[in-house]
């Protein structure tokens, strides 16, 4: 194992730093999945049309897309930590607002604000981890983001099931609780339990906010701002002195070759190819339907013959599968490489999506459809999910990395907005099986792109990758 070459103290420091920053991924995963439990209840209470349902689901994604895009340049100018802190504050404001607001437009706005916050954090988290961890374990640590998203989603699923079942059996509060009126408690826990589902996110958002000050600024960002002494202190705490010297030399050599910063340089060779590839992988991962299946998962299972309670329970199997797939990525992506993982995952996802579509076409109900969808989620979670984050965080120079990762990842969320807005309309006008066939069809070009154009970046420092790309 490559991480065994590090001292215990340095390894513990890296794990702590990576875990705290990856908590942003956990909060995003929690936020993304918690809405799946609220959807049926919220839709019934506010009598949403298919278009309004799509807008409700897309509200956070629109915010995430804009938050991701706008925070890229900000993180390049002011640093990675301030963006993480600002994102955490917006998430906290959003969660509280969702619990107390009473109209559809106000709750939509609250979800948008939360999405903006998660966009900021999920943009910075992977590039921050890539910039602060040694090359030997970089893929594993960046994959931790996808794993934490999955753990967050699984936790949210359990929370949804618990809150929903508790609301069915809970007796009405006859007196206040922790300073809150009985009427308010009955409203959020019993009568409108979707509020309690949203509210459970507050615990993790506050923990994330409290831990961010305990991690250092990105050393490579500090180097880009000529703060070499601070960067060297941080790097010395997480890797060997010889590797620190090598990294500083490589960084200086790469900086001497730079021309100008900004989009104009990104669109010049060789970074143009890296940007297009990163954007394509982000687009392909989203067009495969992952957020639609996550957001509308219980609805899909209800259409396949499950009750709401049963669909929420079956949804847990999907996230356990997701956890297993992410675990494989964490332990093997640095050993086997990025390209083989992404190729295998893409082929597996296509097969699973077609199989799911055929089952829905044949009206096969019950556990077989859950198993087929789990096959897709497994293929996504060990390949497309983590690899897009790893690749995007590796292939750009530090002075452009925030902007480039922001542009790449914003593709995910803008694509997600379109998919999740159209999903309920296509579902009602046509059928769900058609959607699964379309997801599979859109993934086919990725096989060619991986084989023909994707470079292998495992076991290379970020500076080595930059030099490799500059050589063409």
Is 306 in a helix, a strand, or coil? coil
* 281 half-sphere exposure, CB direction, 13 A CA radius: 32
Both tokens of residue 381? 């979670």
Both tokens of residue 434? 């058609």
Q: How far apart are CA 359 and CA 2, in angstroms?
A: 43
Q: How far apart are CA 69 and CA 362, in angstroms?
A: 42
Comparing C-alpha atoms, which of 361, 330, 382, 408 is closest to residue 143?
330
Per residue of the chain (472 residues), what is the pLDDT tens digit? 444 456 778 778 888 888 898 898 899 889 888 887 788 888 888 888 888 888 888 888 889 889 988 888 888 888 889 999 999 999 999 999 999 898 999 999 999 999 999 999 988 888 888 888 777 777 777 778 878 888 888 888 888 888 887 777 766 656 555 555 677 777 777 788 888 889 999 999 999 999 999 999 988 888 888 888 888 888 888 777 777 777 777 666 555 555 555 666 667 656 788 888 999 999 999 899 887 887 676 667 666 555 555 555 566 777 788 788 888 877 777 778 888 889 999 999 999 999 988 988 888 777 788 888 889 999 998 888 888 888 888 887 767 777 788 888 888 888 888 887 787 887 778 778 888 899 999 999 999 999 998 888 777 776 677 677 666 5
Q: How far apart are CA 355 and CA 357, in angstroms?
A: 5
- CATH class, domain 2-470, is mainly alpha
Comparing C-alpha atoms, which of 409, 421, 419 is closest to residue 67?
409
Q: How far apart are CA 143 and CA 465, in angstroms?
A: 18
Burial classification of residue 456, based on how many CB atoms lie within 10 Å of its CB (0-12 exposed, 13-18 middle, 19 or more buried): exposed
Alpha carbon 397 to its chain's center: 22
DSSP string, 354-380: HHHHHHHHTT--SHHHHHHHHHHHHHI
Burial classification of residue 317, based on how many CB atoms lie within 10 Å of its CB (0-12 exposed, 13-18 middle, 19 or more buried): middle
Where exactly are the structural domains of the chain?
Answer: 2-470
Which spans in 170-240 are helix H?
Answer: 182-185, 193-199, 201-211, 219-224, 228-236
pLDDT digits (tens, 9 = 90+) for 158-170: 888 888 877 777 6
The residue behind tokens 């920053």 is: 21
């Amino acid at each position: 194992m490559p991480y065994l070459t590090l001292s215990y103290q340095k390894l513990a420091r890296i794990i702590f730093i990576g875990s705290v920053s990856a908590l942003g991924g956990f909060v995003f995963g929690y936020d993304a999945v918690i809405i799946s439990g609220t959807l049926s209840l919220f839709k019934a209470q506010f009598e949403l049309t298919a278009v309004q349902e799509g807008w409700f689901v897309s509200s956070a994604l629109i915010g995430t897309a804009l938050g991701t895009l706008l925070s890229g340049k900000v993180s390049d100018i002011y640093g990675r930590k301030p963006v993480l802190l600002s994102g955490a504050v917006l998430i906290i404001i959003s969660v509280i607002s969702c619990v107390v607001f009473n109209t559809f437009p106000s709750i939509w706005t609250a979800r948008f604000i939360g999405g903006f916050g998660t966009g900021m954090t999920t943009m910075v988290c992977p590039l921050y981890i890539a910039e602060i961890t040694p090359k030997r374990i970089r893929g594993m640590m960046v994959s931790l983001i996808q794993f934490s998203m999955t753990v967050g989603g699984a936790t949210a699923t359990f929370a949804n099931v618990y809150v929903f079942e508790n609301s069915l059996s809970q007796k009405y509060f006859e007196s206040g609780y922790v300073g809150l009126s009985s009427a308010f408690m009955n409203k959020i826990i019993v009568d409108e339990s979707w509020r309690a589902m949203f509210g459970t996110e507050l615990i993790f958002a506050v923990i994330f906010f409290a831990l961010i000050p305990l991690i250092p600024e990105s050393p490579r960002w500090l180097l880009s701002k000529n703060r070499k002494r601070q960067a060297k202190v941080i790097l010395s705490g997480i890797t060997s002195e010889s590797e620190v010297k090598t990294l500083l030399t490589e960084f200086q050599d790469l900086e001497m070759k730079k021309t100008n910063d900004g989009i104009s340089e990104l669109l010049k060779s060789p970074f143009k190819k890296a940007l297009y590839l990163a954007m394509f992988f982000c687009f392909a991962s989203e067009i495969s339907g992952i957020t639609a299946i996550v957001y509308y998962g219980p609805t899909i299972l209800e259409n396949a013959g499950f009750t709401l309670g049963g669909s929420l329970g079956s949804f847990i199997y999907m996230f356990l599968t997701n956890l297993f797939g992410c675990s494989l990525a964490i332990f093997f992506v640095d050993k086997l490489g990025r390209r083989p993982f992404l190729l295998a995952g893409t082929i597996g996802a296509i097969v699973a999506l077609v199989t799911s579509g055929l089952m829905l076409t044949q009206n096969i109900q019950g556990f077989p459809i859950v198993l087929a969808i789990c096959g897709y989620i497994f293929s996504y979670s060990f390949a497309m999910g983590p690899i897009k984050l790893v690749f995007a965080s590796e292939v750009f120079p530090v002075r452009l990395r925030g902007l480039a990762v922001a542009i790449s990842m914003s593709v995910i969320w803008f694509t997600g907005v379109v998919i999740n807005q159209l999903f309920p309309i296509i579902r009602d006008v046509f059928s769900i099986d058609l959607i699964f066939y379309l997801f599979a069809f859109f993934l086919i070009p990725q096989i060619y792109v991986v084989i023909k154009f994707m470079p292998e970046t495992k076991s290379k420092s970020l500076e080595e990758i930059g030099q490799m790309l500059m050589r063409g």
